């Protein structure tokens, strides 16, 4: 290996900077999973019978399923009985303002550079801070309520808007969809719920910060977003987790429903603990995200920047059911050290004149393995469907890997599908060119990588794009002398 390549690799080996844990008393149920645990979770949350029945159905389905292993990742077997399926901060009384939030928790947010108050005041972002599994602080609720917008924790939605939850829960990701979705359906703890009424444009970006904190606690978030006819919403999800030695399982489910003429933008910046330099520890991130463009001219855009987790398994997808509906997927996935990511999307064209765009940027450094897996399906009735896919991989160093698996299934002859793919290396030549102009190695890598990801960053809301760029820097840069 040449010197430049070595230096690039050194740069890429940065310690996870957000590794710290908070000491907050936790209400944790014992490890293990059976029907009683499912009942216990449901009763702790004071859920109605129909939801308990749904959980139990999912649990029984899960028992008959086997963990999937077709993905291009390897990891130590997960002991599902060694996980505790519920944790909530013991401080549970309703809070009227952020001042009432546990100072420990506030301090943690500050260390992460997420000053809630500042965000609240300056950036016009409503923050629903999910600490572990239960919402601790929710802001801007009243302002949104004036417009008829519902933005609350999933548990609150179950209590206050049971009809909506009942109608849409599992309508996009059925409880039998896959192994991890079934598990989530059985034991999900909390998450977010959004409903935007007809003809309403949500006036602010909605955002949630998830954190994994309790040792040995699986995270099973459940998010449900519904945009009624002509509604618009942009939802931001971001997270970072403290340094932990054990592998932590995260199996979230996100369901999006866009009715006629509605638009949902769902953006994620994910920075969970990826494990140490030797591949020890780190989060397993097995997520099911799916949206349905139910009505004509509806649109769903998934944008994700994935820099964390030891193993990522994630395919945000769109079902394009309405005529002229649009699905988009923009993704940046970074794998460094021993990280593995198998991610991509599914675009399922059912309606006429449906269009989808896929832009995937994979960056591998260290011994990271990055797989893009994308499926484009065009149904019999999807006349004039269009898809454009672009999958680019960037390799840093020569011990990492990039893999691309595009799947196509076309049942209508009027469809037009385009696929472009490229793999490039941050070459010595690119680095040398920057350096020969006086730009430091660190800045050069940052610049080249940001340039590579530009098409995706452009899709992120402004404040998120900045954060994403910062995260990318943190996961690829080093403390160069």
Q: Is 395 exposed, middle or buried (0-12, 13-18, 19+ CB in 10 A)?
A: buried
439 lies in the site for another protein, by CB under 8 A: yes
Name which position in 435, 463, 470, 474 contacts another protein (CB under 8 A).
435
Pick between residue 212 and residue 434 the one whose CB is nearest to another protein.
434
Taking contact as CB under 8 A, which single stretch among the options 19-27, 324-332, 407-415, 424-432 is the one that binds another protein?
424-432
Q: Enumerate residues 4-33 that contact another protein by CB under 8 A.
A: 4, 7
448 lies in the site for another protein, by CB under 8 A: yes
430 lies in the site for another protein, by CB under 8 A: yes
Pick between residue 226 and residue 456 the one whose CB is nearest to another protein.
456
390 lies in the site for another protein, by CB under 8 A: no
423 lies in the site for another protein, by CB under 8 A: no
Name which position in 92, 143, 411, 454 contacts another protein (CB under 8 A).
454
Name which position in 99, 440, 466, 479 contacts another protein (CB under 8 A).
440
What is the smallest separation between the CB atom of 349 and another protein, expressed in angstroms? 29
481 lies in the site for another protein, by CB under 8 A: no
What is the smallest separation between the CB atom of 325 and another protein, expressed in angstroms? 29
Name which position in 27, 91, 276, 455 contacts another protein (CB under 8 A).
455
Name which position in 118, 433, 466, 479 contacts another protein (CB under 8 A).
433
Q: Give the Cα separation of 224 and 241 in Å (integer).
A: 23
Q: Give the Cα separation of 415 and 385 in Å (integer).
A: 5
Print the SS3 string covering 408-461.
EEECCCCCEEEEEEEEEECCHHHHHHHHCCCCCHHHHHHHHHHHHHHHHHCCCC
What is the smallest separation between the CB atom of 8 and another protein, expressed in angstroms? 10
Which residues make up the interface to another protein (CB under 8 A)? 2-4, 7, 427-430, 432-441, 443, 447-448, 450-455
């Amino acid at each position: 290996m040449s010197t430049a390549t070595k230096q690039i690799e050194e740069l890429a080996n940065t310690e996870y900077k957000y590794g710290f844990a908070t000491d907050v008393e936790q209400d944790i149920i014992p490890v293990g999973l059976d029907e009683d645990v499912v009942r216990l979770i449901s009763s702790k949350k004071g859920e109605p019978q129909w939801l308990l029945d749904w959980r139990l159905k999912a649990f029984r389905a899960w028992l008959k399923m086997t963990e999937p292993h077709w993905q291009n990742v390897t990891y130590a077997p997960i002991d599902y009985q060694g996980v505790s399926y519920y944790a909530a901060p013991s401080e549970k009384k309703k809070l009227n303002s952020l001042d009432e939030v546990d100072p420990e928790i506030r301090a943690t947010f500050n260390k992460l550079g997420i000053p809630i108050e500042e965000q609240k005041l300056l950036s016009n972002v409503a923050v629903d801070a999910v600490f572990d599994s239960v919402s601790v602080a929710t802001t801007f609720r009243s302002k949104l309520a004036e417009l008829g917008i519902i933005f609350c924790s999933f548990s609150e939605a179950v209590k206050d808007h049971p009809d909506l939850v009942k109608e849409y829960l599992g309508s996009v990701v059925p409880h039998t969809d896959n192994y991890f979705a079934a598990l989530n359906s059985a034991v999900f703890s909390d998450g977010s719920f959004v409903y935007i009424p007809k003809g309403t444009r949500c006036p602010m970006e909605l955002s949630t910060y998830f954190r994994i904190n309790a040792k040995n606690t699986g995270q099973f978030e459940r998010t449900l977003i519904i945009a009624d006819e002509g509604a618009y919403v942009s939802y931001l999800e971001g997270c970072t987790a403290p340094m932990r030695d054990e592998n932590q399982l995260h199996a979230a489910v996100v369901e999006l429903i866009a009715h006629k003429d509605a638009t949902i933008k769902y953006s994620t910046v994910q920075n969970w603990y990826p494990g140490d330099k030797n591949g020890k520890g780190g989060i397993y991130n097995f997520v099911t995200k799916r949206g349905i463009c139910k009505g004509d001219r509806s649109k769903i855009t998934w944008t994700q920047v994935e820099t964390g987790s030891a193993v990522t398994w994630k395919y945000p997808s769109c079902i394009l059911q309405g005529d002229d509906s649009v699905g988009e997927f923009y993704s940046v996935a970074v794998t460094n050290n021993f990280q593995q990511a198998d991610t991509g999307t599914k675009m399922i064209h059912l309606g006429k004149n449906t269009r989808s765009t896929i832009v995937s940027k994979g960056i591998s450094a260290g011994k990271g393995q990055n797989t893009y897996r994308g499926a484009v399906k065009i149904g019999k009735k999807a006349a004039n469907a269009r898809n454009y896919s672009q999958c680019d991989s960037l390799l840093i160093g020569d011990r990492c890997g990039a893999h691309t698996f595009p799947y196509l299934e076309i049942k209508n002859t009027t469809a037009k599908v385009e696929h472009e793919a490229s793999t490039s290396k941050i070459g010595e030549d690119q680095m040398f060119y920057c350096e020969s102009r006086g730009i430091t190695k660190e800045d050069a890598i940052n610049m080249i990588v940001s340039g590579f990801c530009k098409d995706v960053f452009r899709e992120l809301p402004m404040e998120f794009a900045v954060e994403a760029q910062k995260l990318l820097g943190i996961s690829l840069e080093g403390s160069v002398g």
